[in-house]
Structure 1
Amino acid sequence: MNERLLVPINDSDPARAALEDATELFDPGEIVLLHVLEMDELTHGAAGAAAGSLRDEREEEAEELFEDARQRIGDEVSVETILKTGQPSTVIVEAADSGDIDHIVMGSHGRSGISGLLVGSVAKNVIESSPVSVTISRP
């Protein structure tokens, strides 16, 4: 089908499962890897130079995630990487909406019950707001 898939990634088992599903369940022509730096994480308790240093550290970690994902995907599929800052579900939906994306494949920790209601779920928010279909992967 040669779809353009958006795969949000972080350093978690669900994200790794989503990347695996993207390559095994679909026939992607291109995979767009998206990593979101959360503003709260970057600014909580940090000021001035410390905040800048923390951002640099998180950007380096993101590049390592991208490199690991590229190796997992292999050379058969074209890969684009996007690093954004913001609220993850909002950034994911915006990327899907503005990036000529056919489908989102993302991981979920699968919270349910009270925890899911109180904590909220990035996956749930993406499903509710996405302009394209979404596949949720669990490890």
Structure 2
Amino acid sequence: MTTAILVAFDESPQSVAALGHALETYDDATIRVLYVNDPWEWAGADGINDLFFAEDAFERSQDVASDVIAAANEIAREYDREIVAETEIGGTAETIVSYAEDHDIDHVVLGSHGRRGLTRFFLGSVAQYVAKRSPTSVTLIRGDDADEDPSSSDDT
């Protein structure tokens, strides 16, 4: 039976490292890459008086999702591997866990910023949520973003 590995991918340095780790480590596994198109990231306002339509925002988010999936496929080609890449719409952490449950995933690999202290408390953690609620084991690939501005990145 083939092992199914899920890699949460958003093109961040941490998710690129997670995908590389999965491609290197799980030679005989089916690597499933998931990009979660989170409505909280694309619905809202461009400015105080410049509200955009949800339909336009959704279309832009679909374009971004296609670009992210293309990037994941390119990384897989660099490792001479094929992946199954999909996009789901929903809250990032919840969707990763649901996907793992619904697709009989054997192991989850995802990147983590490795934040500590108040930054982690205030920003939350997709990685923490997935690690606690995943139906299977999880490998977290920590990134080094100590010099990064926490307000300019996501919370995985």
Query: TM (normalized to structure 1)?
Result: 0.88
Task: Give aligned-pair identity as a percent.
Answer: 31
- The residue number in structure 1 matching 2:62 is 59
Determine the C-alpha separation between the residues in 1 that align with 2:28 and 2:125.
26
Structure number with greater Rg is 2
Please say if 1:73 is aligned against 2:76: yes
Q: SS at 1:136's partner residue? A: strand
Q: CA RMSD in A?
A: 2.2
Letter in 1 for 2:86: I
Determine the C-alpha separation between the residues in 2 that align with 1:40 and 1:65.
18
- The residue number in structure 2 matching 1:121 is 125
Determine the C-alpha separation between the residues in 1 that align with 2:80 and 2:101.
25
Tell me if the contact between 1:2 and 1:27 (Cα under 8 Å) persists in the aligned partners. Answer: no
Of Structure 1 and Structure 2, which has the larger fraction of its residues in strand?
1
Specify which of 98, 102, 112 is matched with residue 106 of structure 2.
102
Determine the C-alpha separation between the residues in 1 that align with 2:98 and 2:24.
25
- The residue number in structure 1 matching 2:116 is 112
Tell me if the contact between 2:8 and 2:96 (Cα under 8 Å) persists in the aligned partners. Answer: yes
Segments of 5+ residues of structure 1 without an aligned counterpart are none
Letter in 2 for 1:30: T
Determine the C-alpha separation between the residues in 1 that align with 2:6 and 2:34.
7
Specify which of 50, 53, 77 is matched with residue 50 of structure 1.
53
* Structure 1 pair 28–103 and aligned structure 2 pair: CA distance change class (3 A): farther
Determine the C-alpha separation between the residues in 2 that align with 1:2 and 1:78.
14
Q: How many residues align?
A: 139
- The residue number in structure 1 matching 2:94 is 90
Shift of 1:70: 1.1
Shift of 1:16: 0.4
Letter in 1 for 2:135: P
Q: SS at 1:33's partner residue? A: strand
